[in-house]
Amino acid sequence: MSDRNHLNGSEATSARTERGQQTRERILDSAARLFYVKGVGSTTLDDVRAASSTSKSQLYDHFPDKTTLIHAVIDVQSRSVLAREAGRLKGVRNLSGLRRWRDALVQSNMLHDGSYGCALGAMSSELSDNDERSREALAAAFRTWQQLLVETLTRLRDLGVLTSDFDPRKLGTGLLAALQGGYILAQNGHSPELMADALDMALDRIETFADR
């Protein structure tokens, strides 16, 4: 109530009351899920409306148009993916920790037989060509993601787990690329082993720098 109109510079419209806030969240959740499994382009606003049990006018009250909704979903998904990754990576202090991070990714990939890929990666290849703003938002997310990996590698180096003769930035990029490429291959081939193989190559490369 009191401070509910926190228009924080971002593109947020409305959300004046508790109830409205929940509606907004429901729309966002449904849209995120639909964009993820069906793709942004093949998801109609009517799909979103139905999935979130709302009406046309509510949709347009909260999000003036589809593009705005897309941006909002990108925002939500970025936070969600990055929060998950930050959580998984922050405790990694040795090579088996890194392997466990790998296992977690492979496991969740196996849950749906590889399908559905990476929420950010999928949006990226679908939107980058057509919507500059989406591209930038996703690029920022990828940079942060890569940064998380770089920090992890740097930490391992500082802990003496890895030697110093590698460039954490490049290795972080390689790791993220392997992850994204693994998602693509696994999704396309319906086989999570492809993801595993992709990540393993990257991890093996990293272990090359193990200090023993």
CB of 9 to DNA, least distance (A): 19
Q: Decide which of a second copy, DNA, none touches 55; Cβ closer than 5 to 8 Å per partner kind.
A: DNA
- Nearest CB to a second copy, comparing residues 52 and 168: 168
Q: Decide which of DNA, a second copy, none touches 60; Cβ closer than 5 to 8 Å per partner kind.
A: DNA
Task: Residue 22: name the closest of 34, 2, 4, 9 by CA.
Answer: 4
| Residue 151 CB burial class (10 angstroms; 0-12, 13-18, ≥19) | middle
- Nearest CB to a second copy, comparing residues 124 and 152: 124
DSSP count for the chain of H helices, then E strands: 9, 0
Q: Decide which of DNA, a second copy, none touches 179; Cβ closer than 5 to 8 Å per partner kind.
A: a second copy
Q: Decide which of a second copy, DNA, none touches 15; Cβ closer than 5 to 8 Å per partner kind.
A: DNA
Q: Decide which of a second copy, DNA, none touches 16; Cβ closer than 5 to 8 Å per partner kind.
A: DNA
Q: Decide which of a second copy, DNA, none touches 153; Cβ closer than 5 to 8 Å per partner kind.
A: none
Which of 135-141's residues contact partners 24+ apart within 8 Å by CB, and which partners? 137/71, 137/74, 137/75, 137/78, 138/74, 138/78, 140/78, 141/74, 141/78, 141/81, 141/82
Kindly state the DSSP code that residue 114 receives in the 8-state scheme: T
- Nearest CB to DNA, comparing residues 23 and 30: 23
CB of 10 to a second copy, least distance (A): 21
How is residue 211 written in tokens? 């200090």
CB of 194 to a second copy, least distance (A): 6
CB of 151 to a second copy, least distance (A): 17
- Nearest CB to a second copy, comparing residues 69 and 178: 178
Spatial distance between the Cα atoms of 194 and 127, rounded to a whole number of angstroms: 25
How is residue 39 written in tokens? 């793709």
CB of 152 to a second copy, least distance (A): 15
Spatial distance between the Cα atoms of 83 and 8, rounded to a whole number of angstroms: 21
The contact set with DNA (CB under 7 A) reads 1-2, 4, 14-21, 23, 44-46, 53-58, 60-61, 64-67
